[in-house]
Amino acid sequence: MSLRLPDADGRWRTHIPRADPFVPAGTGPPAARTVLAAAHVVADPYADPHPDSGAGAVDWDATLAFRRHLWSHGLGVAEAMDTAQRGMGLGWDAAAELIRRSAAEARAVGGVIACGAGTDQLPPGVHGRTPAVIRAAYEEQCALVEDSGARIILMASRALAASARTPEDYHSVYGELLRQAREPVILHWLGPMFDPALGGYWGSTDTDAATETLLELVAAHPGRVDGVKVSLLDAGREIALRRRLPPGVRCYTGDDFHYPELIAGDEYGFSHALLGVFDPLAPLAADAARMLDTDGVRTSGAARFRAALDPTVPLARHLFQPPTRFYKTGVVLLAWLAGHQRHFTMVGGLQSARSLPHLARAYELADGLGLFPDPVLAEARMAALLRVYGAEA
């Protein structure tokens, strides 16, 4: 078996696929860390929705089957998040159906699930977006998540980012939502590298000032915040923030560049995980996380965890390279190559968002980690993709 793969400079290289896929050493959820994988949706390639309809065109059977795959490895599922193309093809109606179906599936199989609640049902533009309107949009989505039996992840709101003028605007909206929530929620700080519309979140483009606003919000509502998910791709800033969180409030890393060191932690603490990159890394990531269950940070468990997870970082950095918001294309490619879906098609046609050399390198890196249960199938599908692009495999 061998493939000729293109690089970004127009050259070709020969890749010999790995013959022995990775096999996890165990099963069951990790005990020392809470680990959630933000799961992608599988598109229905035979539907014909209008590109701007937000209908989603989701293959529900394949989408739910992928969530069962994540649960089977002991991971929790973070549902209807950025990885599921919220704001990039998946509209609120489809996201609401996704939440309902996934939460029901979680109950049926005993899986852990938390779901994103945002404001993406609001029409584009800022006219009429008062704090009360934005809060009402959040409340609608929060109610659906809670009624489904899932934990709320309060997603960052494009509408709030566009209309808020001061930190007090954030305190006003979030404070009321926290008071209403039936259970503690996860707050989500998604940086502009993931969504340019979220620049200046928490009321300032100065990240230090924004951090202070977030910490003040958490402190003002004791017992109402389960944790804070930080997606800034800045390990030092995340560590500084997590050391200042009140006791009992978790830090969930959303840093797809530095996750091994952040999850392993230091003598002062560690981060839990809510990561899009754990969608393709699920078997390997869950196996590594279980290594932390019996050993402390300074003993062999942490060393084995880092030895297992550090080699995955080159793939993660490749998938999440700028423009970072298009990382989902690589995630879906790898799901197709691994046999989790029958096609490489995405909601909104985003399979075209990355170049063939980018996709080829993603295949090569994932294959090197043994992420394809059937290497022959992965090779055949990659060869088929190359032929679609006019290349001879």
Low-confidence ranges of the chain (pLDDT < 50): 393
Interstrand relation of 12-15 and 185-190 (parallel, antiparallel or unpaired): unpaired
347 near 90, Cβ under 8 Å?
A: yes
Task: Give CA 309 to chain center in angstroms.
Answer: 17
- Distance CA(107)–CA(382), nearest Å, equals 36
pLDDT for res 353:
97
pLDDT for res 140:
98
pLDDT for res 129:
85
Alpha helix stretches (DSSP H) within 276-373: 282-290, 300-309, 313-319, 327-337, 356-368
- Distance CA(340)–CA(56), nearest Å, equals 19
pLDDT for res 162:
93
pLDDT for res 391:
85
Q: Which of 201, 208, 249, 196 is nearest to 227 (CA)?
A: 249
Partner residues linked to 43 by β-bridges: 58
Residues making up the chain, counted from first to last: 393
pLDDT for res 165:
87
DSSP-derived 3-state class of residue 271: coil
Query: Which H or E element spans position 138?
Result: helix 131-147
pLDDT for res 384:
96
Tokens of 239: 């560590």
Cβ contacts of 132 within 8 Å, gap of 6 or more: none
The angle subtended at Cα 391 by Cα 388 and Cα 393, nearest 5°, is 100
Beta strands in 18-106 (DSSP E): 35-38, 76-79
Q: What are phi and psi of 294, to 5 degrees?
A: -110, -10
